[in-house]
Structure 1
């Protein structure tokens, strides 16, 4: 491109004020810089855009013909500049969250984010860890909030907050009321657990190392609420995030079971593409998550 937007600005300012010094002043330029820009524009295309009448510069026929097109071009450039500046503000965001996080934490964060950012939209994808990771790797999501741990060359994990799985049962289950459960109790029980590929299932299996081949897994379900309903119906023991069980424990529809010899502690993570630029939307979302849940 042989001309610059600055040259067009000088051309239009001069056309409007018919005086180069006043045009330069309106653009916060020196008169010599404005004169040079206008001269270069005319020289590059071997044209004359103004008739010099004393100290006045009047548009000639060619100048009058080009003026509206130059105005339109500069207006488009201003629109583009405004769009780029607005992009510096947090806006549309695509978030992936695993089920426990999506159903019990992400909605609150989303509400705060959208209340702050006028006109902002958040697309929330709730799925298991494997699905969220696949979508992040394919650039279908901007950020993931997951319960499982992963090794992926294109993704990075950042610790968000701590969590803990809890073993639980119906209040009328034979194990309810026990001060703690032994490994023999765990092996004798039937279980209702999350499906493979979920972060909760991953941590459940880690916690139960040494017992897994002998555990009686009766049901594998994809949704935490379905697991809670199945356990309430007496179909076995469950093991889910403490985040998902607080209300049921308060109501007494489910009761926690202590298993001190097993480590059910885990971490929740942010997952991001390693090479992707973190825009203001993602950065603000991370801030809101940390304000809500801490980074122990």
Structure 2
């Protein structure tokens, strides 16, 4: 074999970081060792894998074509190493979650996964990254995450989505809002509201726009915020109304700091999805994570 796993490891880290110094740091190598490994890999096959743009290294067509195979090879090698060590149990995971899922569902799953690993005599770390749907999907696409838990669908030929669980959006307002307790709202009343919305690229924004299709050009979106908690504080300050996941507002509705407005003629349902890279193998650890997600949903 004319290449080493170390060379493949450096290639993948450089593809992710787009910088040889950052790739070396990720792999705990010196910069010279990482540079040598990448240079030797390219020279052995007479194949350039990156375009050099100053200090930035961007995958060219050759690198893009070979990256999925290299990633699959490293995943298989890691699983084989665990088997040789007699540790075919649970290993580290890199999980991405959108804000609603990350804040209200993911943390207990992380705790349960790590506890299961300890019961098997191992220590496993779950690196949980929380961002909006677009960011999570792109990190899965770039092999920076093993799996994404997202709100709504994300269509890309290199990604595979799988339905996880259902969710429902709720219109919430300050309890003193004049339309609270007014019954079902008409489209005219929806158009009269000052809306506080999540940013473009979020799953909640996507579902909000889907539910209010036909009204979007005329909606008064007074404010866009990136965080659900900030939106809830803005509603409590009577700055407008918002459309948020029931997961995010159920406690506030129960204690009365927020009130629900109703528009049953609109479809407020949506779905949560798992998103995977099509070329990444499903490891034993990732399979266990998926089982925990499904068990938590069924409970």
TM-score (ref. length: structure 1): 0.71
2:196 is the alignment partner of 1:192: yes
1:129-173 CA-to-partner distances (Å, cap 9, x unmatched) read 000011000000000000021111111000000001101101011
* Residue 232 in structure 1 maps to residue 231 in structure 2: no
Please name the residue that 1:117 is paired with.
117
Deviation at 1:83, TM superposition (A): 5.7
Q: Among 262, 265, 271, which residue is 1:261 paired with?
A: 265
2:274 maps to which residue? 270
Q: What is the Cα deviation at residue 82 of structure 1?
A: 6.0
Which residue of the partner structure matches residue 286 of structure 2?
282
Q: Partner residue of 2:187?
A: 183
How far off its partner does 1:109 sit?
Answer: 0.6
Which is greater in Rg? 1
Separation in 2, partners of 1:81, 1:180: 60
Partner of 1:11: none
Distance 1:113 1:216, change over 3 A: same
Gaps of 5+ in 2: 2-79
Matches within 5 A, 1:1-296: 84-118=84-118, 119-294=123-298
> Distance between the aligned counterparts of 2:81 and 2:222, measured in 1?
60
Structure 1 position 86, deviation (Å) = 4.4
Check the 8 A contact 1:88/1:279 in 2, yes or no: no
SS state at 2:154 partner: coil
Structure 1's consecutive aligned runs of 4 or more residues displaced over 4 angstroms after TM superposition are 80-83
- Measured in 1, the distance between the counterparts of 2:245 and 2:214 equals 21
Instruction: Give the Cα separation in 1 of the matches to 2:296 and 2:83.
Output: 31
Preserved CA contact (<8 Å) 1:161 1:294: no
Q: Judge conservation of contact 2:137–2:148 (CA < 8 Å) in 1.
A: yes
Alpha carbons of structure 1 residues 246 and 81: separation in structure 2 relative to 1, 3 Å: closer
Q: Hey, what's the Cα distance between the residues in 1 that align with 2:240 and 2:187?
A: 16
Q: Contact 2:163–2:274 (CA<8 Å) still a contact in 1?
A: yes
Offset from partner CA, 1:5-42 (integer Å, 9 cap, x none): xxxxxxxxxxxxxxxxxxxxxxxxxxxxxxxxxxxxxx
The alpha-carbon deviation at position 281 of structure 1 amounts to 1.1
The change in CA–CA distance for 1:81 and 1:204 in structure 2 (over 3 A counts) is closer
Answer with 197-206 or 148-157: which moved more.
Answer: 148-157
Report the CA distance between 1:85 and its aligned residue.
4.5
Whole-angstrom CA distance in 2 between matches of 1:195 and 1:108: 26
Provide TM-score, normalisation by structure 2: 0.70
The answer as to whether partners of 1:98 and 1:147 remain within 8 angstroms in 2 is yes
CA RMSD of aligned residues (A): 1.6
What is the aligned residue count?
A: 217
Instruction: Supply the distance in 1 between the matched residues of 2:81 and 2:213 (Cα, whole angstroms).
Output: 57
